[in-house]
Structure 1
Amino acid sequence: MSLILQIETATTSCSVALARYGEVLDFKEINARNIHAEVITLYIDELLNNSGIQYSDIDAIAVSSGPGSYTGLRIGVSTAKGLCFALDKPLIAIETLEAMAFGVINNPGFFEDSNTLLCPMIDARRMEVYTALFDSEGIRVRETAADIIDENSFADYLKDKKIIFFGDGAEKCKSVLSHNPNARFLDDFVNSATYLTQKAAQKFADGAFEDVAYYEPYYLKDFIAGKKAL
């Protein structure tokens, strides 16, 4: 059996989901900045109550591990680890960009064809995004990186393939990439804990769990605190 509580807080989306045997039972989410700490535990309580499921029934906790918002990742991972300690359940970590790619692959309204590459983008600073490339089966073809996007970005890939750009970092890149006829943009993509489902079920079956005591989010870059304006 695999009843998994899934948590996504790496982006502006604060989302929780319950999945059994790789199928989503229910989810609750909101797409808003700086609200994650306020609602994450409330959403989990509501989700379990609405589903008639006890905390003790959960077999594992899966969390979106980053890269993404430093604060969001801290909130999500801290919540997941706290539940794992309290319930004595295993922790599963899914890279955020990979989960986003599976969200597109498994949504017929988003995906085009097998010759299309997927480019999830998470907003960083200015024209910088956290990004990677995946093929139509979710296999990584370009490693995760923090990239500054300009008109030449992804040029080698766009010669021969269409690329779907999506995520909260894609909108700011549209002006410099949309000149290429092979570039596509998903304007209505919102990240979700439901996108963790496929990889979480696979990792549970494989016993690919994290060390709860020592696990840290995948920040990719060091956190730099801004100075408060005087």
Structure 2
Amino acid sequence: MSCILNIETSTDVCSVAVSNDGECIFNQEDHNGPRHAVKLGVFVDEALSFIDSHAIPLDAVAVSCGPGSYTGLRIGVSMAKGICYAREAKLLAVPTLELLAVPLLLDEKIAEEDALLCPMLDARRMEVYAGIYTRGLQPVRAVGADVVDGETYRDFLNENLVYFFGNGAEKCMEVIAHPNARFVKGVEPLAKNMMPLSEKAMAQERFEDVAYFVPFYLKDFVAKTSKPVL
């Protein structure tokens, strides 16, 4: 097992956690944001001081890689890269939508084996950024920018229970009126929940290039997937 500093800044919440040998040994969160530029440096300094005071070598830094807020992701990734350079640590990337699913799976809130998970991040109006996964976090449909109406997820809902969650899900509750739709409120991407995913990436040696890694910015996703106006 390894010591990993986990950084999450993809939404308004700013959070930092440290895992060591599979245990969370440090955690700080700010839910009054977005204040990443103010709080992230403080949290990281406290985390590194905690690690150093316990003589624990830092092996890797994991950062939530999006999709998410351009400013938040830029701040988080820049901080992660700086620590990796200074500490000669590995860089790990954790997809934000997969991260959103972790607390539901850990708390066993989803009992049905064949249920699908649809984490959502809010965008403008009735648009969300969403992916669809199995309970094992295997992608059933790639991350996409969805304009949500009653038909958007009907093919999946006709076959399975689908759990919708994340800050984009609540505005869809009245629109997705299907008997197989389930909504879970209050699910946020948090650094303390990154541990299973960052530890798996570490074990599989899925390291990012510190110099060239860039997160999954929403604005870039829109640019790449939007059709040209004729």
**TM-score of the pair, normalised by structure 2:** 0.89
Deviation of the 1:78 alpha carbon: 0.6
d(CA) in 2 for partners of 1:182, 1:114: 14
**Residue ranges of structure 1 left out of the alignment (5+ in a row):** 225-230
Deviation of the 1:170 alpha carbon: 0.8
d(CA) in 1 for partners of 2:215, 2:26: 25
State the Cα deviation string for residues 183-229 of structure 1 (Å, max 9, x = none): 111112122112211121111112211110111111143399xxxxx
Which residue of structure 2 aligns with residue 186 of structure 1? 184
SS of residue in 2 equivalent to 1:119: strand
d(CA) in 2 for partners of 1:145, 1:60: 29
**Residue ranges of structure 2 left out of the alignment (5+ in a row):** 223-230
State the Cα deviation string for residues 85-131 of structure 1 (Å, max 9, x = none): 111111000111112122321122x3232121111101111111111
Q: How many pairs are equivalent?
A: 222
d(CA) in 1 for partners of 2:199, 2:142: 23
Question: Contact conserved, 1:21 with 1:201, CA < 8 A, in 2?
Answer: no
Question: Contact conserved, 1:17 with 1:28, CA < 8 A, in 2?
Answer: yes
Which residue of structure 1 aligns with residue 115 of structure 2? 116
Which residue of structure 2 aligns with residue 104 of structure 1? 104
Q: Any residues of structure 2 matched to 1:64-213 within 5 Å, and which? A: 64-108=64-108, 110-177=109-176, 179-213=177-211
One-letter amino acid of the counterpart of residue 113, structure 1? E
Question: Contact conserved, 2:100 with 2:188, CA < 8 A, in 1?
Answer: no
SS of residue in 1 equivalent to 2:173: helix
CA RMSD in angstroms comes to 2.0
Which residue of structure 1 aligns with residue 30 of structure 2? 30
SS of residue in 1 equivalent to 2:194: helix
- Tell me the percent identity: 44
d(CA) in 2 for partners of 1:53, 1:116: 44
Question: Contact conserved, 2:69 with 2:218, CA < 8 A, in 1?
Answer: no
Question: Contact conserved, 1:48 with 1:55, CA < 8 A, in 2?
Answer: no
